[in-house]
Amino acid sequence: MSLPTSRRSFLKVSLLTTLAFLSPEKALATFPTQQIQPSGRLNLYNIHTGEKINTTYRDPDGQYNPQAIRELNRLLRCHFTDEQHPIDIQTLDFLDLINSRLGRNNEIHIISGFRSPEYNNRLISLGHKVAKHSLHLEGRALDIRIPGTALATLQRTALSFRLGGVGYYPSSDFVHIDSGTFRTW
């Protein structure tokens, strides 16, 4: 995990993350004003479990639907251990912004959502290049692709928001997004 470059940035990220967990209905207000706003809908397919969800997780007034959030947390659980963890609202909104810019209601394929410590350590032991302190462990990262959308287009779209981390993995056919500080690799 890359730490923010200043104490002020660190405190801001910590405060925003806490706000998102304690008061998700206000988390949307923490995003900088964008020309395009999240739609409040996500259409996801977990490639490991075969599960799908097409849900409205936030209404036009910015109120989050707790039932939809629980269903998203279930779909985005660690597929290896079946362990669930709350997915950061900012990560969901970032994904929604990307999807909105790409034309809304695309079926987004989830390669990895929350990753349990057990599964993360297993990946490391098998030689996969995953971070020991990955934001996946905190429910703040997603590895995604959108069928019919070029991976480079998905990456450029994510980068255009300058909101969080964006990793480009063309040989593995996914883009990583997270709600950390803006950075790219």
Give the pLDDT confidence of 30-71 residue by residue, as tens digits: 445 456 788 999 999 999 999 999 999 999 898 999 999 999
Can you tell me the distance from the alpha carbon of 160 to that of 56, in angstroms, rounded to the nearest whole number? 24
pLDDT tens track for 162-173: 999 999 999 999
Provide mean pLDDT across the span 145-159: 98
> Looking at residue 143, what DSSP letter applies?
E
Two structure tokens written together for 49: 């479990």
For the entire predicted model, the pTM comes to: 0.81
> Looking at residue 88, what DSSP letter applies?
P
If we measure between CA atoms, which residue out of 152, 178, 153, 141 comes closest to residue 163?
178
Question: Which domains does the chain possess?
Answer: 42-184 (3.30.1380.10)
| Predicted local distance difference test score (pLDDT) of residue 176 | 98
Two structure tokens written together for 102: 């790409």
